[in-house]
Amino acid sequence: MKKLFQISLGIVTSVGGFIETGQIATSSQAGAAYGFSLLWAIVIGTVCLVFLIEMSGRFAIASRHTVADGIRERFGSNYFLLTLLIISIVNLLVLASELGGVALALQFVSGVGFQWWALPVAFTAWLLLWKGTFGMIEDGVAILGLVALCFVVAVFVMDPPWLDVAKGLIPTLPHKEPLHYGFIAVSILGAVIAPFLFLFYSSGAIEEKWDKSFFGANRLIATIGMSFGAVIAAAILIVAALVYPPRGITDIEGYDQIAPILTPALGKWGFYLFAGSLGITCFGAALEASLGQAYLVAQGFGWNWSEDAKPRTDPGFALVYTGLLAIAVLPVAVGVDPLQLTIFSMAITALALPFGVVPFLFLMNDRNFVGDHRNGWISNTAVLAIIGLSFIVALITLPLQIFGE
Amino acid sequence: MLLVRDVLDKQMVDRQQNRMGKVDGIVLSLSDGEPPKVVFIEIGSLTLARRLGRRPYQWLLRLRQLAGAEDAARVFRVPWVKVKDVGLDIEVDIDWHETPLKQCQDWLKRHVVKWIPGGQS
Protein backbone atom coordinates (compact mmCIF):
# COMPACT_ATOMS: atom_id res chain seq x y z
CA MET A 1 0.00 0.00 0.00
CA LYS A 2 2.80 2.33 0.96
CA LYS A 3 4.54 1.53 -2.29
CA LEU A 4 1.39 2.23 -4.26
CA PHE A 5 1.28 5.63 -2.61
CA GLN A 6 4.92 6.26 -3.46
CA ILE A 7 4.35 5.23 -7.05
CA SER A 8 1.40 7.58 -7.46
CA LEU A 9 3.37 10.37 -5.85
CA GLY A 10 6.30 9.65 -8.15
CA ILE A 11 4.02 9.80 -11.17
CA VAL A 12 2.54 13.10 -10.09
CA THR A 13 6.03 14.46 -9.40
CA SER A 14 7.14 13.56 -12.88
CA VAL A 15 4.42 15.83 -14.21
CA GLY A 16 5.81 18.65 -12.11
CA GLY A 17 9.25 18.17 -13.59
CA PHE A 18 7.99 17.67 -17.11
CA ILE A 19 5.72 20.66 -17.65
CA GLU A 20 7.50 23.99 -17.32
CA THR A 21 8.14 27.14 -19.32
CA GLY A 22 9.96 25.21 -22.04
CA GLN A 23 6.98 22.96 -22.74
CA ILE A 24 4.48 25.76 -22.50
CA ALA A 25 6.43 28.02 -24.85
CA THR A 26 7.48 25.46 -27.45
CA SER A 27 4.12 23.67 -27.55
CA SER A 28 2.18 26.92 -28.01
CA GLN A 29 4.55 28.08 -30.74
CA ALA A 30 4.28 24.75 -32.49
CA GLY A 31 0.49 24.74 -32.32
CA ALA A 32 0.17 28.30 -33.55
CA ALA A 33 2.56 27.91 -36.47
CA TYR A 34 1.94 24.34 -37.64
CA GLY A 35 -1.35 23.15 -36.14
CA PHE A 36 -1.21 19.57 -34.89
CA SER A 37 1.64 18.56 -37.18
CA LEU A 38 4.44 18.77 -34.57
CA LEU A 39 2.81 16.46 -32.02
CA TRP A 40 5.22 13.73 -33.09
CA ALA A 41 8.15 15.73 -31.62
CA ILE A 42 6.55 15.55 -28.16
CA VAL A 43 5.99 11.81 -28.61
CA ILE A 44 9.55 11.08 -29.72
CA GLY A 45 11.02 13.28 -26.97
CA THR A 46 8.90 11.54 -24.36
CA VAL A 47 9.86 8.04 -25.50
CA CYS A 48 13.54 9.04 -25.20
CA LEU A 49 12.92 10.59 -21.80
CA VAL A 50 11.09 7.52 -20.47
CA PHE A 51 14.11 5.36 -21.32
CA LEU A 52 16.63 7.80 -19.85
CA ILE A 53 14.65 8.33 -16.65
CA GLU A 54 14.11 4.61 -16.16
CA MET A 55 17.84 4.05 -16.61
CA SER A 56 18.87 6.79 -14.19
CA GLY A 57 16.56 5.30 -11.58
CA ARG A 58 17.77 1.76 -12.23
CA PHE A 59 21.39 2.91 -12.09
CA ALA A 60 20.82 4.55 -8.70
CA ILE A 61 19.00 1.55 -7.25
CA ALA A 62 21.52 -1.02 -8.49
CA SER A 63 24.73 0.88 -7.75
CA ARG A 64 23.70 3.24 -4.92
CA HIS A 65 25.46 5.88 -6.99
CA THR A 66 23.88 8.60 -9.10
CA VAL A 67 24.38 9.30 -12.78
CA ALA A 68 26.66 12.23 -11.90
CA ASP A 69 28.76 9.94 -9.67
CA GLY A 70 28.90 7.50 -12.54
CA ILE A 71 30.09 10.09 -15.06
CA ARG A 72 33.00 11.07 -12.82
CA GLU A 73 33.87 7.56 -11.70
CA ARG A 74 33.60 5.87 -15.08
CA PHE A 75 34.95 8.59 -17.40
CA GLY A 76 37.44 10.36 -15.15
CA SER A 77 37.87 13.92 -14.01
CA ASN A 78 38.50 15.63 -17.34
CA TYR A 79 35.35 14.35 -18.99
CA PHE A 80 33.44 15.17 -15.83
CA LEU A 81 34.73 18.76 -15.79
CA LEU A 82 33.69 19.22 -19.43
CA THR A 83 30.23 17.78 -18.70
CA LEU A 84 30.00 19.96 -15.60
CA LEU A 85 30.80 23.07 -17.61
CA ILE A 86 28.24 22.33 -20.32
CA ILE A 87 25.44 21.18 -18.04
CA SER A 88 26.03 24.15 -15.71
CA ILE A 89 25.48 26.55 -18.60
CA VAL A 90 22.32 24.67 -19.58
CA ASN A 91 21.06 24.58 -15.99
CA LEU A 92 21.74 28.27 -15.54
CA LEU A 93 19.77 29.19 -18.67
CA VAL A 94 16.95 26.80 -17.80
CA LEU A 95 16.78 28.15 -14.25
CA ALA A 96 16.69 31.74 -15.51
CA SER A 97 13.85 30.80 -17.88
CA GLU A 98 11.87 29.15 -15.08
CA LEU A 99 12.31 32.14 -12.78
CA GLY A 100 11.15 34.30 -15.68
CA GLY A 101 8.10 32.06 -16.07
CA VAL A 102 7.11 32.46 -12.42
CA ALA A 103 7.74 36.21 -12.55
CA LEU A 104 5.56 36.53 -15.66
CA ALA A 105 2.76 34.54 -14.06
CA LEU A 106 2.84 37.01 -11.17
CA GLN A 107 2.83 39.90 -13.64
CA PHE A 108 -0.30 38.51 -15.32
CA VAL A 109 -2.10 38.29 -12.00
CA SER A 110 -0.86 41.50 -10.41
CA GLY A 111 -0.13 43.85 -13.30
CA VAL A 112 3.30 44.64 -11.84
CA GLY A 113 6.13 44.13 -14.38
CA PHE A 114 7.87 40.75 -14.28
CA GLN A 115 11.34 42.13 -13.62
CA TRP A 116 10.15 43.39 -10.22
CA TRP A 117 9.12 39.86 -9.31
CA ALA A 118 12.48 38.29 -10.19
CA LEU A 119 14.18 38.84 -6.83
CA PRO A 120 11.20 37.87 -4.62
CA VAL A 121 10.70 34.71 -6.69
CA ALA A 122 14.36 33.68 -6.55
CA PHE A 123 14.44 34.46 -2.84
CA THR A 124 11.38 32.33 -2.14
CA ALA A 125 12.85 29.43 -4.12
CA TRP A 126 16.10 29.75 -2.23
CA LEU A 127 14.34 29.92 1.14
CA LEU A 128 12.42 26.72 0.40
CA LEU A 129 15.62 24.93 -0.56
CA TRP A 130 17.53 26.32 2.41
CA LYS A 131 14.86 25.44 4.97
CA GLY A 132 12.88 22.64 3.35
CA THR A 133 13.38 18.91 2.94
CA PHE A 134 13.44 16.82 -0.21
CA GLY A 135 10.06 15.26 0.50
CA MET A 136 8.39 18.57 1.16
CA ILE A 137 9.69 20.13 -2.04
CA GLU A 138 8.87 17.12 -4.17
CA ASP A 139 5.37 16.54 -2.84
CA GLY A 140 4.45 20.21 -2.77
CA VAL A 141 5.48 20.73 -6.37
CA ALA A 142 3.75 17.53 -7.39
CA ILE A 143 0.37 18.24 -5.91
CA LEU A 144 0.15 21.90 -6.85
CA GLY A 145 1.44 21.11 -10.35
CA LEU A 146 -1.73 19.19 -11.08
CA VAL A 147 -3.35 22.55 -11.90
CA ALA A 148 -1.74 22.11 -15.34
CA LEU A 149 -4.39 19.46 -16.04
CA CYS A 150 -6.62 22.40 -16.98
CA PHE A 151 -5.02 22.21 -20.46
CA VAL A 152 -6.37 18.68 -20.85
CA VAL A 153 -9.80 19.88 -19.74
CA ALA A 154 -9.58 22.68 -22.30
CA VAL A 155 -8.90 20.18 -25.09
CA PHE A 156 -12.08 18.28 -24.28
CA VAL A 157 -14.10 21.49 -23.98
CA MET A 158 -12.92 22.60 -27.41
CA ASP A 159 -13.40 19.15 -28.96
CA PRO A 160 -10.72 19.16 -31.67
CA PRO A 161 -11.00 17.22 -34.94
CA TRP A 162 -9.50 14.04 -33.47
CA LEU A 163 -8.55 12.55 -36.84
CA ASP A 164 -6.32 15.56 -37.59
CA VAL A 165 -4.83 15.35 -34.10
CA ALA A 166 -3.96 11.69 -34.71
CA LYS A 167 -2.31 12.59 -38.03
CA GLY A 168 0.02 14.93 -36.13
CA LEU A 169 1.51 11.95 -34.34
CA ILE A 170 3.19 10.88 -37.58
CA PRO A 171 6.28 12.90 -38.52
CA THR A 172 5.72 14.85 -41.71
CA LEU A 173 7.55 17.51 -43.64
CA PRO A 174 6.13 21.01 -43.30
CA HIS A 175 4.32 22.75 -46.12
CA LYS A 176 5.94 26.10 -45.28
CA GLU A 177 9.09 27.54 -43.67
CA PRO A 178 11.01 24.29 -43.11
CA LEU A 179 13.77 26.02 -41.10
CA HIS A 180 11.33 27.42 -38.57
CA TYR A 181 9.60 24.03 -38.40
CA GLY A 182 12.94 22.33 -37.70
CA PHE A 183 13.84 24.89 -35.09
CA ILE A 184 10.59 24.38 -33.19
CA ALA A 185 10.88 20.58 -33.43
CA VAL A 186 14.38 20.74 -31.98
CA SER A 187 13.28 23.13 -29.22
CA ILE A 188 10.49 20.74 -28.25
CA LEU A 189 13.04 17.92 -27.95
CA GLY A 190 15.28 20.21 -25.87
CA ALA A 191 12.35 21.12 -23.64
CA VAL A 192 11.36 17.48 -23.11
CA ILE A 193 14.82 15.98 -22.53
CA ALA A 194 16.24 18.43 -19.97
CA PRO A 195 19.38 17.16 -18.22
CA PHE A 196 18.33 18.38 -14.78
CA LEU A 197 15.52 15.83 -14.91
CA PHE A 198 17.81 12.81 -14.77
CA LEU A 199 20.26 14.43 -12.35
CA PHE A 200 17.31 15.14 -10.08
CA TYR A 201 15.64 11.78 -10.57
CA SER A 202 18.67 9.59 -9.87
CA SER A 203 19.53 11.65 -6.78
CA GLY A 204 15.89 11.42 -5.69
CA ALA A 205 16.08 7.63 -5.80
CA ILE A 206 18.95 7.82 -3.31
CA GLU A 207 17.39 10.56 -1.16
CA GLU A 208 14.28 8.42 -0.84
CA LYS A 209 16.36 5.29 -0.15
CA TRP A 210 14.90 3.17 -2.95
CA ASP A 211 16.15 -0.38 -2.42
CA LYS A 212 16.20 -3.32 -4.80
CA SER A 213 12.46 -3.82 -4.40
CA PHE A 214 11.93 -0.60 -6.34
CA PHE A 215 12.96 -1.71 -9.85
CA GLY A 216 9.34 -2.25 -10.84
CA ALA A 217 8.16 0.95 -9.21
CA ASN A 218 10.91 2.85 -11.00
CA ARG A 219 9.80 1.48 -14.36
CA LEU A 220 6.19 2.40 -13.68
CA ILE A 221 7.00 5.91 -12.50
CA ALA A 222 9.24 6.59 -15.48
CA THR A 223 6.74 5.28 -18.04
CA ILE A 224 3.44 6.48 -16.64
CA GLY A 225 4.78 9.69 -15.11
CA MET A 226 6.51 10.92 -18.24
CA SER A 227 3.61 9.90 -20.47
CA PHE A 228 1.25 11.76 -18.18
CA GLY A 229 3.46 14.85 -18.56
CA ALA A 230 3.51 14.38 -22.32
CA VAL A 231 -0.28 14.30 -22.44
CA ILE A 232 -0.35 17.76 -20.86
CA ALA A 233 2.33 19.06 -23.26
CA ALA A 234 0.32 17.66 -26.17
CA ALA A 235 -2.81 19.29 -24.75
CA ILE A 236 -1.06 22.67 -24.78
CA LEU A 237 -0.11 22.16 -28.42
CA ILE A 238 -3.63 21.09 -29.39
CA VAL A 239 -5.24 24.04 -27.62
CA ALA A 240 -2.76 26.39 -29.29
CA ALA A 241 -3.58 24.87 -32.69
CA LEU A 242 -7.30 25.44 -32.06
CA VAL A 243 -6.96 28.96 -30.67
CA TYR A 244 -4.33 30.80 -32.69
CA PRO A 245 -4.54 30.02 -36.43
CA PRO A 246 -8.29 30.89 -36.68
CA ARG A 247 -7.46 34.26 -35.11
CA GLY A 248 -4.69 34.85 -37.62
CA ILE A 249 -1.83 34.37 -35.16
CA THR A 250 0.84 32.03 -36.50
CA ASP A 251 3.93 33.40 -34.82
CA ILE A 252 4.00 33.72 -31.04
CA GLU A 253 6.32 36.54 -30.12
CA GLY A 254 5.71 36.98 -26.43
CA TYR A 255 4.13 35.38 -23.41
CA ASP A 256 1.35 37.99 -23.46
CA GLN A 257 0.07 36.16 -26.55
CA ILE A 258 0.17 32.82 -24.75
CA ALA A 259 -1.53 34.11 -21.59
CA PRO A 260 -5.11 34.13 -22.99
CA ILE A 261 -4.70 30.63 -24.50
CA LEU A 262 -7.24 29.08 -22.15
CA THR A 263 -9.88 31.82 -22.25
CA PRO A 264 -11.70 30.56 -25.38
CA ALA A 265 -12.27 27.23 -23.63
CA LEU A 266 -12.55 28.16 -19.98
CA GLY A 267 -13.60 31.80 -20.01
CA LYS A 268 -12.30 34.33 -17.51
CA TRP A 269 -11.03 31.61 -15.19
CA GLY A 270 -8.89 30.33 -18.02
CA PHE A 271 -6.63 33.33 -17.65
CA TYR A 272 -6.02 32.67 -13.96
CA LEU A 273 -5.65 28.94 -14.53
CA PHE A 274 -3.01 29.66 -17.15
CA ALA A 275 -1.14 32.01 -14.80
CA GLY A 276 -1.40 29.41 -12.02
CA SER A 277 -0.13 26.60 -14.23
CA LEU A 278 2.74 28.68 -15.55
CA GLY A 279 3.74 29.97 -12.12
CA ILE A 280 3.53 26.71 -10.21
CA THR A 281 5.11 24.44 -12.80
CA CYS A 282 7.96 26.88 -13.44
CA PHE A 283 8.52 27.29 -9.73
CA GLY A 284 8.74 23.53 -9.32
CA ALA A 285 11.14 23.25 -12.23
CA ALA A 286 13.24 26.09 -10.77
CA LEU A 287 13.61 24.14 -7.51
CA GLU A 288 14.49 20.97 -9.40
CA ALA A 289 17.03 22.70 -11.65
CA SER A 290 18.75 24.38 -8.68
CA LEU A 291 18.92 21.11 -6.79
CA GLY A 292 20.03 19.28 -9.93
CA GLN A 293 23.02 21.58 -10.17
CA ALA A 294 23.91 21.12 -6.49
CA TYR A 295 23.66 17.35 -6.89
CA LEU A 296 25.89 17.42 -9.97
CA VAL A 297 28.66 19.41 -8.30
CA ALA A 298 28.55 17.62 -4.94
CA GLN A 299 28.46 14.16 -6.50
CA GLY A 300 31.11 14.83 -9.10
CA PHE A 301 33.57 16.03 -6.46
CA GLY A 302 32.57 13.41 -3.92
CA TRP A 303 31.08 15.64 -1.21
CA ASN A 304 28.42 14.68 1.25
CA TRP A 305 25.07 15.79 -0.07
CA SER A 306 21.41 15.69 0.79
CA GLU A 307 18.59 18.16 0.51
CA ASP A 308 17.38 16.83 3.86
CA ALA A 309 20.57 17.88 5.64
CA LYS A 310 20.89 21.36 7.14
CA PRO A 311 23.00 23.89 5.21
CA ARG A 312 25.54 23.97 8.02
CA THR A 313 26.04 20.20 7.66
CA ASP A 314 26.83 20.38 3.93
CA PRO A 315 27.68 24.05 3.29
CA GLY A 316 29.17 23.35 -0.14
CA PHE A 317 25.99 21.71 -1.41
CA ALA A 318 23.76 24.53 -0.13
CA LEU A 319 26.06 27.22 -1.52
CA VAL A 320 25.98 25.73 -5.03
CA TYR A 321 22.24 26.22 -5.42
CA THR A 322 22.48 29.57 -3.65
CA GLY A 323 25.08 30.75 -6.16
CA LEU A 324 23.20 29.39 -9.16
CA LEU A 325 19.98 31.14 -8.11
CA ALA A 326 21.88 34.37 -7.50
CA ILE A 327 23.28 34.35 -11.05
CA ALA A 328 20.16 33.06 -12.79
CA VAL A 329 17.99 35.82 -11.36
CA LEU A 330 20.03 38.52 -13.08
CA PRO A 331 18.75 38.27 -16.67
CA VAL A 332 15.15 38.26 -15.44
CA ALA A 333 15.74 41.16 -13.06
CA VAL A 334 17.20 43.32 -15.83
CA GLY A 335 14.18 42.55 -17.99
CA VAL A 336 15.36 40.03 -20.59
CA ASP A 337 12.22 38.75 -22.30
CA PRO A 338 11.31 35.41 -20.66
CA LEU A 339 9.99 33.88 -23.88
CA GLN A 340 13.17 34.67 -25.82
CA LEU A 341 15.22 33.37 -22.91
CA THR A 342 13.21 30.15 -22.85
CA ILE A 343 13.49 29.54 -26.58
CA PHE A 344 17.23 30.18 -26.44
CA SER A 345 17.65 27.85 -23.43
CA MET A 346 15.77 25.04 -25.13
CA ALA A 347 18.00 25.30 -28.20
CA ILE A 348 21.13 25.24 -26.02
CA THR A 349 19.75 22.24 -24.16
CA ALA A 350 19.26 20.47 -27.48
CA LEU A 351 22.81 21.37 -28.49
CA ALA A 352 24.21 19.90 -25.25
CA LEU A 353 22.19 16.69 -25.44
CA PRO A 354 24.97 14.34 -26.60
CA PHE A 355 27.04 15.07 -23.48
CA GLY A 356 24.16 14.11 -21.27
CA VAL A 357 23.12 10.94 -23.06
CA VAL A 358 26.33 9.25 -24.27
CA PRO A 359 27.40 8.23 -20.70
CA PHE A 360 24.21 6.17 -20.32
CA LEU A 361 25.39 3.68 -22.93
CA PHE A 362 28.52 2.91 -20.93
CA LEU A 363 27.19 3.25 -17.39
CA MET A 364 24.17 1.04 -18.00
CA ASN A 365 26.36 -1.76 -19.36
CA ASP A 366 29.06 -1.67 -16.70
CA ARG A 367 28.83 -4.67 -14.37
CA ASN A 368 30.94 -2.90 -11.76
CA PHE A 369 28.12 -0.42 -11.28
CA VAL A 370 24.87 -2.14 -12.11
CA GLY A 371 25.77 -5.82 -11.75
CA ASP A 372 23.00 -7.97 -13.20
CA HIS A 373 20.74 -5.01 -13.83
CA ARG A 374 22.50 -4.08 -17.04
CA ASN A 375 20.61 -2.89 -20.08
CA GLY A 376 18.93 -5.53 -22.19
CA TRP A 377 18.86 -5.27 -25.98
CA ILE A 378 15.75 -3.10 -25.94
CA SER A 379 17.26 -0.46 -23.66
CA ASN A 380 20.56 -0.56 -25.51
CA THR A 381 18.86 -0.12 -28.87
CA ALA A 382 16.94 2.76 -27.36
CA VAL A 383 20.10 4.39 -26.00
CA LEU A 384 21.86 4.06 -29.34
CA ALA A 385 18.86 5.58 -31.09
CA ILE A 386 18.72 8.41 -28.56
CA ILE A 387 22.44 9.09 -29.00
CA GLY A 388 22.01 9.14 -32.78
CA LEU A 389 19.05 11.48 -32.46
CA SER A 390 20.90 13.71 -30.00
CA PHE A 391 23.78 14.15 -32.45
CA ILE A 392 21.42 14.94 -35.31
CA VAL A 393 19.57 17.40 -33.12
CA ALA A 394 22.79 19.03 -31.92
CA LEU A 395 24.20 19.25 -35.44
CA ILE A 396 21.12 20.89 -36.90
CA THR A 397 20.48 23.19 -33.95
CA LEU A 398 23.53 25.28 -34.62
CA PRO A 399 22.70 26.39 -38.18
CA LEU A 400 19.01 26.63 -37.24
CA GLN A 401 19.87 28.89 -34.36
CA ILE A 402 21.67 31.20 -36.75
CA PHE A 403 19.42 31.04 -39.83
CA GLY A 404 16.15 29.61 -38.58
CA GLU A 405 14.82 32.63 -36.77
CA MET B 1 42.56 -4.68 -9.43
CA LEU B 2 43.25 -2.13 -12.12
CA LEU B 3 44.36 1.22 -10.73
CA VAL B 4 42.72 3.48 -13.29
CA ARG B 5 39.55 1.45 -13.64
CA ASP B 6 39.01 0.53 -10.00
CA VAL B 7 40.68 3.25 -7.95
CA LEU B 8 41.13 6.52 -9.80
CA ASP B 9 38.12 8.88 -9.59
CA LYS B 10 36.23 6.55 -7.26
CA GLN B 11 34.38 7.78 -4.20
CA MET B 12 36.45 7.80 -1.01
CA VAL B 13 34.64 7.14 2.24
CA ASP B 14 35.76 6.72 5.82
CA ARG B 15 34.73 3.97 8.22
CA GLN B 16 31.44 5.77 8.94
CA GLN B 17 30.71 6.12 5.20
CA ASN B 18 31.28 9.88 5.26
CA ARG B 19 32.09 10.98 1.73
CA MET B 20 35.62 12.41 1.62
CA GLY B 21 36.00 13.34 -2.03
CA LYS B 22 36.92 11.34 -5.08
CA VAL B 23 40.33 9.79 -5.65
CA ASP B 24 41.91 12.61 -7.65
CA GLY B 25 45.35 11.07 -8.15
CA ILE B 26 47.52 8.05 -7.46
CA VAL B 27 51.20 8.24 -6.51
CA LEU B 28 53.50 5.37 -7.50
CA SER B 29 57.07 4.85 -6.36
CA LEU B 30 59.63 3.49 -8.80
CA SER B 31 62.85 1.86 -7.82
CA ASP B 32 65.38 -0.07 -9.86
CA GLY B 33 64.66 -3.70 -10.47
CA GLU B 34 61.33 -3.66 -8.63
CA PRO B 35 57.81 -3.31 -9.95
CA PRO B 36 56.20 0.10 -9.29
CA LYS B 37 54.42 0.35 -5.96
CA VAL B 38 51.33 2.38 -5.06
CA VAL B 39 52.22 4.57 -2.12
CA PHE B 40 49.60 7.33 -1.90
CA ILE B 41 46.17 8.41 -2.99
CA GLU B 42 45.87 12.14 -3.61
CA ILE B 43 42.82 14.29 -3.14
CA GLY B 44 42.49 17.98 -3.91
CA SER B 45 41.81 20.52 -6.60
CA LEU B 46 45.51 20.89 -7.48
CA THR B 47 45.76 17.26 -8.49
CA LEU B 48 42.61 17.62 -10.58
CA ALA B 49 44.00 20.73 -12.24
CA ARG B 50 47.25 18.95 -13.06
CA ARG B 51 45.33 16.18 -14.78
CA LEU B 52 43.67 18.82 -16.91
CA GLY B 53 47.03 20.21 -18.01
CA ARG B 54 50.11 22.12 -16.92
CA ARG B 55 48.52 25.56 -17.48
CA PRO B 56 45.44 24.96 -15.31
CA TYR B 57 47.76 23.60 -12.63
CA GLN B 58 49.92 26.73 -12.66
CA TRP B 59 46.89 29.03 -12.67
CA LEU B 60 45.37 27.29 -9.69
CA LEU B 61 48.69 27.31 -7.87
CA ARG B 62 49.04 31.06 -8.52
CA LEU B 63 45.48 31.57 -7.30
CA ARG B 64 46.19 29.70 -4.11
CA GLN B 65 49.35 31.71 -3.53
CA LEU B 66 47.42 34.94 -4.09
CA ALA B 67 44.77 33.78 -1.65
CA GLY B 68 47.54 33.49 0.90
CA ALA B 69 47.44 29.74 1.41
CA GLU B 70 50.47 28.62 3.36
CA ASP B 71 52.33 25.94 1.44
CA ALA B 72 50.13 26.48 -1.60
CA ALA B 73 51.52 23.51 -3.53
CA ARG B 74 50.76 20.97 -0.80
CA VAL B 75 48.41 18.15 -1.75
CA PHE B 76 46.56 15.94 0.70
CA ARG B 77 47.85 12.38 0.52
CA VAL B 78 46.42 9.21 1.98
CA PRO B 79 48.98 6.43 2.48
CA TRP B 80 47.96 3.30 0.55
CA VAL B 81 48.26 1.19 3.72
CA LYS B 82 45.25 3.10 5.08
CA VAL B 83 43.07 1.77 2.27
CA LYS B 84 40.83 -0.85 3.81
CA ASP B 85 38.54 -1.84 0.98
CA VAL B 86 38.43 -1.28 -2.77
CA GLY B 87 34.88 -1.80 -3.96
CA LEU B 88 32.60 0.58 -5.79
CA ASP B 89 33.76 3.02 -3.09
CA ILE B 90 37.26 3.19 -1.66
CA GLU B 91 37.12 2.83 2.11
CA VAL B 92 40.05 4.35 3.99
CA ASP B 93 40.96 4.41 7.63
CA ILE B 94 41.68 8.09 8.25
CA ASP B 95 39.94 10.79 10.22
CA TRP B 96 37.36 12.61 8.12
CA HIS B 97 38.19 15.88 9.87
CA GLU B 98 41.74 15.85 8.51
CA THR B 99 40.67 15.93 4.88
CA PRO B 100 40.86 19.20 2.95
CA LEU B 101 37.24 18.73 1.89
CA LYS B 102 35.97 18.64 5.46
CA GLN B 103 38.19 21.55 6.43
CA CYS B 104 36.96 23.56 3.49
CA GLN B 105 33.34 22.77 4.36
CA ASP B 106 33.99 23.82 7.96
CA TRP B 107 35.55 27.05 6.74
CA LEU B 108 32.47 27.75 4.62
CA LYS B 109 30.28 27.00 7.62
CA ARG B 110 32.16 29.41 9.86
CA HIS B 111 32.71 32.20 7.35
CA VAL B 112 29.82 32.08 4.88
CA VAL B 113 26.83 30.08 6.07
CA LYS B 114 27.04 31.78 9.46
CA TRP B 115 26.20 35.13 7.86
CA ILE B 116 23.17 33.86 6.03
CA PRO B 117 20.01 34.03 8.16
CA GLY B 118 18.83 30.58 9.13
CA GLY B 119 22.16 28.99 8.30
CA GLN B 120 22.86 28.08 11.90
CA SER B 121 19.58 26.45 12.75
Domains and CATH numbers, chain B: 3-93 (2.30.30.240)
Q: List all residues of chain A from 63 to 92 with a beta carbon under 8 Å from chain B.
A: 63-65, 69, 72-74, 76-78, 80-81
pLDDT at A383: 95
Q: For A133, phi and psi rounded to 5 degrees? A: -115, 165
Question: Which residues of chain B does A78 touch, with a Cβ-Cβ cutoff of 8 Å?
Answer: 51-52
- Give yes or no for B105 touching A (CB within 8 A): yes
Tens digit of pLDDT for each residue in A189-201? 989 988 888 888 9
What is the overall mean pLDDT for chain B?
A: 89
Tens digit of pLDDT for each residue in A347-383? 889 888 898 899 999 999 999 999 999 999 999 999 9
**A182 vs A191, A251, A401, CA distance in Å?**
14, 15, 10
pLDDT cut 70: percent of chain A above it? 98
Task: Note the residue count of chain B.
Answer: 121
Tens digit of pLDDT for each residue in B13-49? 998 888 999 999 999 999 888 888 999 999 988 999 9
Interface confidence (ipTM) of the complex: 0.92
Distance CA B54, CA A35 (A): 55
Domains and CATH numbers, chain A: 2-403 (1.20.1740.10)
pLDDT at B121: 56
Cβ within 8 Å, pair B113-A65? no
Statement: the pTM of the whole predicted model exceeds 0.90: yes
pLDDT at B119: 65
Res A183 pLDDT > 90: no
Q: DSSP strand E in chain B: where? A: 11-13, 19-22, 25-29, 37-43, 76-79, 83-86, 89-92
pLDDT bucket at A166, cuts 50 / 70 / 90: very high
pLDDT at A174: 82
Interface test with A, best of B2, B5, B9 (most A CBs within 10 A): B9
**A211 vs A61, A197, A206, A396, CA distance in Å?**
6, 20, 9, 41
Q: Are A114 and A106 in contact (CB under 8 A)?
A: yes
- Out of A280-284, A315-319, B8-12, B15-19, least confident range: B15-19
Res A404 pLDDT > 60: no
Q: For CA atoms A103, A106, A111, A117, give the dihedral sign.
A: negative
